[in-house]
Amino acid sequence: MSRKIRILISKPGLDGHDRGAKYIARALKDAGYEVIYMGIRQSPEAIVKTAIQEDVDFVGLSLLSGAHNELFPEVVRLLREQGANDVIVFGGGVIPQEDISYLKEQGIEAVFTPGTPIQKVIEFIETNKERVLH
Amino acid sequence: MIGKLVNGIIHGETRSIARAISWIENDVPQKEELIDALFEHTGRAQILGITGPPGSGKSSLLDRIIEQERKRDKKIAVLAIDPSSPFTGGAILGDRLRMQKHTVDAGVFIRSMASRGHLGGVAGATSDSVKVLDAAGFDLIVIETIGVGQTEIEVMNIADLVMLVLVPGLGDEIQALKAGVMEIGDIFVVNKADKEEANRLKAEIEYVLHLKTEDEKGVKNPIFMTSATENTGIEELVNGLHEYMQRMGENGTLRERRRRRVTLELKKIITAKIEAHVHKFLETGNNLDVWIDQILRKKTSPYKLINEKVIQILKELKEK
C-alpha cells in the first residue's frame, strides 16, 4: 500500500495572476505530492466538481482580485454540501490581515500571504495529512 | 464498506467512483475484493486509448471528441496520465486544463493519474480503474497516455482500440515511430492539419502503413486530418472511430483483443502473486544483503544461488 497526498491548486475569480499558484504547484510537486493544476478563472462549482472527481485531500485556492471573502467560503460550503467533509481547504494571495480570521471561521484552515516561505505550506500539509488518510 | 462503495459505483455516483480509483492507486488491501465485486458489471463500455508525442494536442483533441460524443448523449470518462517525478514521486497533473468546459457536465468524468513509476505510458492503476468506470456505466472510456515515445505501448493491452495523434513539424519523428508506437495505432490522426506539411505527414503515414499492412488483407487503418483549435475534422474522426469499432465487433477483432487482455491480465496477476509468495518464503528483504555479499566475495554466483533457492521452494511445495 502506498498512499499519496493529492492536492488541487486552483484560482477562483477573475484575476489572471497565476504566477503564485504555479509556483506553489511546482513546489508541492517537488515536495512529493501529486498536484492537480486547474488554472485561472474557475467557478467554485467547477473547483468542487474537480476536487471530488480527483478525490483530492487538499484544495489550495489562490486569489488576488479581492473577492476572497465570497469565493473561498463558497468552495468550502459546496464541498460540504457534496459530502466531501474530509477535504482540507487552504488559501493564498493578497489577503488583508483582518479578513483572515473571518476566512478561518468559514473553514479555510490556513491563509498564506505574499512572502510566506514554501516550507510553511509544506509544514501545514504534513501536520494535517493524518486527518485525511483514509 | 465495500458493499456501499460498489453500490455507489454501479449507480454512477461520482464520489464512490473517485474513491475507488484512489483505492486502486494506493493499492489498499480491499482493492481485489472491490474489483471482483464490480466484475460482473463490466464489459459494456468502449475503451479508447489516445497516444502520441508531447505537444501533439492529445488533450485538446480529446476535448473536441468529448464535445461530439456529448451531442450524441454518450457518457464519457477520461483517465489522463502524466508522469511522476522519479526523484520526489511528486507530479503535476495538468491534462484536464484543456478539457475544462466539461467540468460541470454531469455526463463527463475526468481523472488525472500520475504514473507512479510505472513504465509503458500508463499508470499501474489504469487497467483496474477502467473496470470501475465501466461498471459505473460510462459508454466511452478514454485513456490518454503520458505521450513520451516509442515504448508507450501498454495502452494497447488495456484499450479496445488505439488512436495515434501525430503533428507536422516533428521532423524525423515519424521515422523513429515506425517501429514502436506506430504499430499499435488503429486510427491515425494528423492534428494541427491547418499547418503546412500536414499533407506530407499524411503521405508518410500512408507509406508506413502500407508497409505494415502489405500482407494483412482487409486491414485498413484510417487516417484523419483534424485541427482541435479550429474545430475541423472532428465529426469525421468521431464517425470514423465508431465505424472502426463496429467493424472490430463484426470481424471478431474486438473479441480477440478482449481475450488477449484477459490472458495478459491473468499472467500478470499470477506473476505478481507468485513473486510476493516467493519473497515471503525466502525472506528476501532480510536476506538480500547477505546474498549480495556472498556474490561480491565470489562465494557463489547469481544463477547458482537463486537456483538453489528455487529448488528449496519446489521441495517445500511437494512436501505439502
Q: Which residues of B touch A32 (CB under 8 A)?
A: 85, 88-90
- The phi and psi torsions of B252 (rounded to 5 degrees) equal 90, -5
Q: Are A56 and B112 in contact (CB under 8 A)?
A: no
Dihedral angle computed from the Cα positions of residues B85, B88, B93 and B94, in that order, rounded to the nearest 10 degrees: -80
Mean pLDDT within B21-28: 96
Q: How confident is the model at residue B19 (pLDDT cuts 50, 70, 90)?
A: very high
The conformation of residue B227, written as its DSSP 8-state character, comes to: B
CA-based Rg of chain B, rounded to a whole angstrom?
Answer: 22
Q: Are A60 and A90 in contact (CB under 8 A)?
A: yes
Last residue of a domain, one of B201, B220, B251: B251
Question: Same domain for B195 and B271?
Answer: no
Question: Same domain for B297 and B241?
Answer: no
Q: Which residues of B touch A45 (CB under 8 A)?
A: 104
Residue of higher predicted confidence among B200 and A27: A27
Q: Which domain holds residue B310?
A: 265-319
Residue in A closest to B24 by C-alpha: A1
Q: Does residue B217 surpass a pLDDT of 60?
A: no
Q: Can you give the CATH number for the domain in which B223 is found? A: 3.40.50.300
Count chain A–chain B contacts defined by CB atoms under 8 A. Answer: 87
Predicted complex: ipTM over 0.85: yes
Cα(A57)–Cα(A51) distance, integer angstroms: 8
Per-residue confidence (pLDDT) for residue B320, from 0 to 100: 74
Q: Which residues of A touch B28 (CB under 8 A)?
A: 1
Question: Same domain for B148 and B276?
Answer: no
Residue in A closest to B94 by C-alpha: A37
Does the residue B38 lie in any domain? no
* Dihedral sign from CA coordinates of B264, B267, B271, B273: positive
Instruction: Write out the residues of chain A at the interface with chain B, using a CB-CB cutoff of 8 A.
Output: 1-4, 6, 25-26, 28-39, 42-43, 45-46, 49-50, 52-55, 82-84
Question: Same domain for B162 and B276?
Answer: no
Question: Same domain for B199 and B103?
Answer: yes
Residue of higher predicted confidence among B182 and B32: B32
Most B CBs within 10 Å, among A7, A9, A28, A29, to test the B interface: A29
Q: Are B20 and B35 in contact (CB under 8 A)?
A: no
Per-residue confidence (pLDDT) for residue B151, from 0 to 100: 72
The CATH architecture that domain A6-132 belongs to is: 3-Layer(aba) Sandwich (3.40)
Instruction: Write out the residues of chain B at the interface with chain A, using a CB-CB cutoff of 8 A.
Output: 14-15, 18-19, 21-22, 25-29, 84-85, 88-94, 96-97, 100, 103-104, 109-112, 114, 116
Q: How confident is the model at residue A1 (pLDDT cuts 50, 70, 90)?
A: low
Letter string b/e over residues A28-47, b meaning 16 or more CB atoms within 10 A of that residue's CB: bbbbbbbbbbbbbebbbebb
Per-residue confidence (pLDDT) for residue B173, from 0 to 100: 60
3-state secondary structure (DSSP) of residue B86: coil
Element containing residue A103 per DSSP (H, E)? helix A97-105
Who contacts A33 (Cβ-Cβ below 8 Å, separation ≥6)?
A4, A5, A6, A7, A125, B90
Q: Does residue B213 surpass a pLDDT of 70?
A: no
Residue in B closest to A54 by C-alpha: B111
Letter string b/e over residues B252-267, b meaning 16 or more CB atoms within 10 A of that residue's CB: ebbeebeeebeeeeee
Residue in B closest to A45 by C-alpha: B104
Does the residue B155 lie in any domain? yes
Element containing residue B49 per DSSP (H, E)? strand B46-51
Q: How confident is the model at residue B317 (pLDDT cuts 50, 70, 90)?
A: confident
Cα(B10)–Cα(B136) distance, integer angstroms: 5
Give the start-to-end residue ranges of the domains of chain A.
Answer: 6-132
Question: Same domain for B105 and B139?
Answer: yes
In angstroms, how far is CA B317 from the centroid of its own chain? 36
Question: Same domain for B246 and B302?
Answer: no
Per-residue confidence (pLDDT) for residue B208, from 0 to 100: 79
Number of domains, chain B? 2
Does the residue B23 lie in any domain? no
* Cβ–Cβ gap A31/B112 under 8 Å: no
What percent of chain B has pLDDT above 90? 78
Residue with grid cell 467560503, as numbered in its chain: A73
Cα(A91)–Cα(A15) distance, integer angstroms: 15
Extract the runs of DSSP E, i.e. beta strands, from chain A. 6-12, 34-42, 58-63, 88-93, 108-112
